[in-house]
Amino acid sequence: MSGSGTTSDDDPPLQTAVWRLRSRACWTDAAALLERDAATDPAAALQRTALLTERCLYTGQGWTDAEDALRTAEALAHDDAERGAAACERGHLAYASTLLGVRDRADEARAALGRSAALLSPAAPGRPLLDFRRGLIAQNIADSPQAARAAYRRAHAGATAQGDELLLSSTWRHLALLSLREGELVEARHGFAESLRIREELGFLVGTAPALIALADTEPEPDAASRLRAEAGRLFRLLGGVPTWLAPHLNPPDPETAGAN
């Protein structure tokens, strides 16, 4: 689930409600709105799976619910596009489990995303999201920044062509992380700023605090960095402490720790 981040006037009321709940970290409530349709409709089942997987990634909880929703989506898929999209979600759930240290499912993640790539045509709407998730595997599991950068750039180009603003906010962020790793501070700051701008424009509150912290880490002015961190902390508390993994990053390290690092 990437780019349903719109609340334009022509959006269906159900999708607008789902987006608003999702953006405020109310994934369970958003998934409940889709539960009836998800029992028979492949697209709704897939969207519900994505919501519950995102909850896992941001909170470290709800794995059983996400697995159950995923099995339903896989059972309802009846053509290559739907099977490919379901495989992409399986890969993402396995990736989240591995990243958060719940259970090592790296092989499952790679296999599922490879299966998705075989099923989705190069022009399929879900291809940019697949490319992005393959970049996550390359960056955070395989520790292959070159492969990650190539995947993120493909995802970025695809998201631009499709007008998928929420996915663009993620590709900007992860390309910036790679730039930061290579010491390219100006390029990293630009990418983080673009990611933050998009998330603020979309109203994606749950993703805004991480974007603020990322930008603060590249901000040369201490006062500006402090303001960014303070705003991130406010949003973090407003949303009940999610994403949970952000907590250690809300306060800057003391000078001695920063020097040691």
Nearest to 159 by CA among 194, 189, 185: 194
Rounded to whole angstroms, how far apart are CA atoms 128 and 105?
23
Are 203 and 195 a contacting pair, CB within 8 Å? no
DSSP 8-state secondary structure symbol assigned to residue 123: T
Residue with tokens 């259970």: 103
- What is the pLDDT tens value at each position of the chain, 261 positions in all? 444 444 455 679 999 999 999 999 999 999 999 999 999 999 999 999 999 999 999 999 999 999 999 999 999 999 999 999 999 999 999 999 999 999 999 999 999 999 999 999 999 999 999 999 999 999 999 999 999 999 999 999 999 999 999 999 999 999 999 999 999 999 999 999 999 999 999 999 999 999 999 999 999 999 999 999 999 999 999 999 999 999 998 864 444 333 332
Q: Report pLDDT for 11.
A: 72
Q: What is the tens place of the pLDDT at every residue in 77-92?
A: 999 999 999 999 999 9
| Residue 226: partners with Cβ closer than 8 Å, 6 or more residues away | 216, 252
**pLDDT tens, 177-221?**
999 999 999 999 999 999 999 999 999 999 999 999 999 999 999
Check: CB of residue 193 under 8 Å from CB of residue 213.
no
Quote the tokens at residue 169.
């906010």
**Letter string b/e over residues 74-91, b meaning 16 or more CB atoms within 10 A of that residue's CB:** bebbeeebbbbbbbbbbb
Site of tokens 């075989």: 118
The predicted structure's pLDDT at residue 9:
52
Q: d(Cα 139, Cα 149) in Å, to the nearest integer?
A: 8
Cα separation, 141 vs 156, whole angstroms = 20
Q: What is the pTM of this model?
A: 0.91
pLDDT of 253 reads 43
pLDDT the model gives residue 259:
31
Burial of 224-239, coded b for 16+ CB within 10 Å and e otherwise, reads: ebeebbeebbebbeeb
Please name the amino acid found at residue 252.
Answer: P
In total, the chain counts a number of residues equal to 261
CA pair distance 233, 209, nearest whole angstrom: 7
